[in-house]
A and B are shown apart, each in its own frame.
Chain A
Amino acid sequence: MKQKTDVLQGTLALMVLKTLEVLGPLHGYGIARRIEQISGDLLAVNQGTLYPVLLRLEQEGAIASVWGASENNRRARFYSLTRSGQKLLQAETRGWEQTATIIARFFAVKAEDLT
Chain B
Amino acid sequence: MKFLKRFFVRLASLIGARREDQRFMEEIEEHIALQTKENLRAGLPENEARRQAVIKFGAVGALREDYHAEQGLPLIENLLQDLRFALRQMRKSPGFTLLTALILTLGIGINTAIFSLVYHVLLEPLPFPQPSQLYAVWARSDVDGNPRIASSGPDFLDYQDQNKSFSKIAVIIPHFSNTWTGDGDPKVLDCTGVSADFFSVLGIRPYMGRFYTPQEYEELNNPAMLVSYRFWKSELGGDPHVIGRVLQIGGSASTIVGVVPPLPDLFPYTEVWPTLPTRPGWDFMQWRKNKFLTVMGRLKPGVTPARAQDELTAVLRRAPGEPEDVRVRLIPLKEDLVGSVRAQLKIILAAVALVLLVACINVAALLLARSARRSVEMAVRLSLGASLKRLRQQLLTEGLVLTLVACSPGVFAAWLALKLLPQLTALRLPRLEGIHLNSAALLVTAGIAVLTTLLFGWAPSLMFSRPALESSLRSGRASTGKRHRRSFSTLIVAEIACSVVLSICAALVLKSYWRVAHVDSGFEPEHMITAYLRTTYFTPEGRSFWSDVLEGVGSLPGVRAVALADCTPGRAAAIATLVLTDHPKDANHAAPAEGCWTSPDFFRVSGTRLIRGRFFDPNDSADSSPVVIINEQAARRYWPGQDPIGKRIAINYTGAGRTGTSTPRFRAIVGVVQGMKYGPPESETEPAVYMPYLQDETYHDMAAMSLFVRTEGDAPALDHAIRQRIHSIRPEQPVDMILSMQEIVSNSIAQRRYSLSLLAAFAVLALLLAAVGIYGIVSWTTLQRTREFGIRIAVGATRGNVMADVFGQGLRLALIGTAIGVGASMLTTRALGQLLFGVSPLDLTSFCSSVILLGLISVFSCVIPALRSAYLDPVRALRSE
B70 engages A56 (CB within 8 Å): yes
User: What's the nearest-Cβ distance from chain B to residue A67, in Å?
Assistant: 9
Minimum distance in angstroms from B761 CB to a CB of chain A = 58
B37 touches A52 (CB 8 A): no
CB distance from A88 to the nearest CB of B (A): 10
Q: Does A76 contact B (CB under 8 A)?
A: yes
Least Cβ–Cβ distance between A87 and chain B, in angstroms: 12
Contact stretch, chosen from B3-11, B444-452, B796-804, B842-850: B3-11
**Of the 9-residue stretches B23-31, B713-721, B726-734, which lies at the interface with chain A?**
B23-31
Closest residue of chain B to A51 (Cβ to Cβ) is B67
Per-residue contact bits, chain B 18-44, to A (CB 8 Å; 1 contact, 0 not):
000001101110110111011000000
B47-69 CB contact bits vs A (8 Å, 1 = yes)? 00000000111111001001101
Q: Tell whether, in the assembled complex, residue A29 and residue B58 are in contact, meaning their CB atoms are under 8 Å apart.
A: no
Instruction: State whether the Cβ of A71 lies closer than 8 Å to any Cβ in chain B.
Output: yes
**Complex contacts, A49 vs chain B, CB 8 Å:** 58, 63, 66
- Please determine whether B31 and A32 come into contact, CB atoms closer than 8 angstroms: yes
Whether B27 and A60, one on each chain, are in contact in the complex, defined by CB atoms closer than 8 angstroms, is no
Provide the residues of chain A in CB contact with B28, threshold 8 Å.
48, 51
Judged by a CB distance under 8 angstroms, whether B71 is at the interface is: yes
Q: Which of B6, B23, B59 contacts A48 (CB 8 A)?
A: B59
A47 touches B66 (CB 8 A): no
Nearest Cβ distance between residue B562 and chain A, in whole angstroms?
A: 94
| B389 is an interface residue with CB less than 8 A from chain A | no
Asked whether any CB of chain A lies closer than 8 Å to the CB of B583, the reply is: no
Tell me if B2 counts as interface (CB < 8 A to partner A): yes
User: B49 to nearest A CB, angstroms?
Assistant: 14
A3 is an interface residue with CB less than 8 A from chain B: no
A47 touches B6 (CB 8 A): no
A75 within 8 A of B: yes
**Chain B residues with a Cβ closer than 8 Å to the other chain, count:** 29
Q: Is the CB of A77 within 8 A of B23?
A: yes
Closest to A53 in B: B70
Known pairs A48-B59, A72-B34; A61 contacts B71 (CB<8 A): no
Q: Which residues of chain B are near A33, meaning CB under 8 Å?
A: 38
CA distance A33 to B27 in the complex (A): 15
Judging by beta carbons under 8 Å apart, are B34 and A48 in contact? no
Q: Which residues of B contact A70 (CB under 8 A)?
A: 30, 34
Q: How far is the CB of B351 from chain A (nearest CB, A)?
A: 54
The chain B residue with its CB closest to the CB of A33 is B38
Query: Across the interface, which residues of A come within 8 angstroms of B38, CB to CB?
Result: 33
The answer to whether A59 and B34 touch (CB under 8 A), given A45-B58, A48-B58, A51-B24, is no
Interface of chain B: mostly helix, strand, loop or mixed = helix
Q: Which residue of B lies closest to A72 (CB)?
A: B33
Please indicate the chain B residues that have their CB under 8 angstroms from the CB of A76 in the complex: 27, 30
A34-45 CB mask vs B (1 if < 8 Å, else 0) is 000000000011
Q: Is A46 on the interface with B (CB-CB < 8 A)?
A: yes
Let me know if B31 and A29 touch, CB within 8 A.
yes
Which one, B6, B31, B56, B66, contacts A28 given CB within 8 A? B31
Closest to A47 in B: B57
Q: Are B31 and A47 in contact (CB under 8 A)?
A: yes
Question: Any chain B CB within 8 A of the CB of A74?
Answer: yes
Q: Which of B58, B59, B70 contacts A55 (CB 8 A)?
A: B70
Q: In the bound complex, do residue B60 and residue A48 qualify as a contact, i.e. CB atoms below 8 Å apart? A: yes
Task: Check if A27 is an interface residue, CB within 8 A of chain B.
Answer: yes
Q: Nearest A residue to B2 by beta-carbon distance? A: A60
User: Are A46 and B58 in contact, with the CB atoms below 8 A?
Assistant: yes
Contact with B along A55-73 (1 / 0, CB 8 A): 1100111000000001110
Chain A residues, CB < 8 A from B26:
75, 77
Bound together, the chains give a CA A72 to CA B31 distance in angstroms of 11
CB neighbours (8 Å) of A71 from chain B are 34, 37
B218 CB to nearest A CB, Å? 83
Contact with A along B477-521 (1 / 0, CB 8 A): 000000000000000000000000000000000000000000000
B10:A72 contact, CB within 8 angstroms: no
Contact A60 B6 (CB under 8 A): yes
Q: Which of the listed residues B6, B37, B58, B71 has the most CB atoms from chain A within 10 Å of its own CB? A: B58
Contact partner of B30 (CB less than 8 A), chosen from A27, A44, A45, is A27
Q: How far is the CB of A27 from chain B (nearest CB, A)?
A: 7
The answer to whether A74 touches B30 (Cβ under 8 A) is yes
Least CB distance from B25 to A in Å reads 11
Q: Which residue of B lies closest to A71 (CB)?
A: B34
Contacts of B67 in A (CB 8 A): 51-52, 55
Q: In the complex, A47 Cα to B27 Cα: how many Å?
A: 12
Q: Given A55-B70, A55-B71, A56-B70 in contact, is the A47-B56 Cβ separation under 8 Å?
A: yes
Cβ of B227 to closest chain A Cβ, rounded Å? 71
A29 surroundings in chain B (CB, below 8 A): 30-31, 34-35
* Cα-based distance from A37 to B59 in the complex (angstroms): 22
Do A48 and B70 have beta carbons less than 8 Å apart? Answer: no
List the B side residues contacting A46 at CB < 8 Å: 57-58
User: Nearest-CB distance from B211 to chain A (Å)?
Assistant: 70
Collect the chain A residues with CB atoms within 8 Å of residue B34's CB: 27, 29, 70-72
> Bound complex: CA of A2 vs CA of B35, how far in Å?
29
Q: Given the complex of chains A and B, what is the CA–CA distance between A55 and B10 in angstroms?
A: 11
In the bound assembly, the distance between CA atoms of A32 and B34 in angstroms comes to 11
Q: Contacts A48-B59, A56-B70 given; indicate if A28 touches B27 (C-beta within 8 A).
A: yes
Out of A52, A61, A75, which one reaches B5, CB within 8 Å? A61
Q: In the docked arrangement, what's the CA distance between A44 and B35, Å? A: 12
- Shortest beta-carbon distance from A55 to chain B in Å: 5
Q: Are B63 and A48 in contact (CB under 8 A)?
A: yes
Nearest B residue to A58, CB-CB: B9
Residues of A within 8 A of B56 (CB): 44-45, 47
List of A residues within 8 angstroms of B6 by Cβ: 59-60
Contacts of A72 on B, CB cut-off 8 Å? 30, 33-34, 37
Q: Which of B588-630 contact A (CB under 8 A)?
A: none
Residue of B nearest to A74 (CB): B30
Identify the interface centre among A47, A72, A75, A77: most chain B CB within 10 Å of its CB: A47
User: Chain B residues with Cβ under 8 A from A55's Cβ?
Assistant: 67, 70-71
Q: A29-B35, A61-B5 are in contact. Are A48 and B57 (CB under 8 A)?
A: yes
In the complex, what's the smallest C-beta–C-beta distance from A71 to chain B, in angstroms?
7
Q: In the complex, what's the smallest C-beta–C-beta distance from B32 to chain A, in angstroms?
A: 9
A74-B58 in contact given A51-B24, A56-B70, A60-B6 (Cβ < 8 Å)? no
Residue picked from B6, B23, B57, B71, most chain A C-beta under 10 Å: B57
Q: Which residues of B lie under 8 Å from residue A52 when comparing CB positions?
A: 63, 66-67, 69-70
For the complex, what is the distance from the CA of A76 to the CA of B34, rounded to whole Å?
10
Question: How many angstroms from the CA of A70 to the CA of B37 in the assembled complex?
Answer: 12
CA distance A56 to B66 in the complex (A): 11
Q: What per-residue 1/0 map shows which CB atoms of A65-99 lie under 8 Å from chain B?
A: 00000111011110000000000000000000000
Interface string of B64-93 (1 = CB under 8 A from A): 001101110000000000000000000000
CB closest residue in chain A, given B60: A48
**Chain A residue, CB-CB nearest to B34:** A29
Of the listed residues B5, B38, B66, the one surrounded by the most CB atoms of chain A closer than 10 A to its CB is B66
- Least CB separation from B53: chain A residue: A47
Contact with A along B336-353 (1 / 0, CB 8 A): 000000000000000000
Q: Shortest distance in angstroms between B151's beta carbon and chain A's nearest beta carbon?
A: 79
Write the nearest CB–CB distance from A40 to chain B, whole angstroms. 14
Could you list 19 A-B pairs, sorted by A, with CB under 8 Å? A27-B30, A29-B30, A29-B31, A32-B31, A45-B56, A45-B58, A46-B57, A46-B58, A47-B35, A47-B57, A48-B59, A51-B28, A51-B63, A55-B71, A59-B5, A70-B34, A74-B33, A75-B26, A76-B30
Additional A-B contacts beyond A49-B66, A51-B27 (20; CB < 8 A): A28-B30, A45-B56, A47-B31, A47-B56, A47-B58, A49-B63, A51-B24, A51-B63, A51-B67, A52-B63, A52-B66, A52-B70, A55-B70, A59-B71, A60-B5, A72-B30, A74-B30, A74-B33, A76-B27, A77-B26
What are the 7 A-B residue pairs with the smallest beta carbon separation, nearest first? A46-B58, A48-B58, A48-B63, A29-B34, A52-B70, A48-B57, A29-B31
Binding site for A on B (CB under 8 A): 2, 5-6, 9-10, 23-24, 26-28, 30-31, 33-35, 37-38, 55-60, 63, 66-67, 69-71
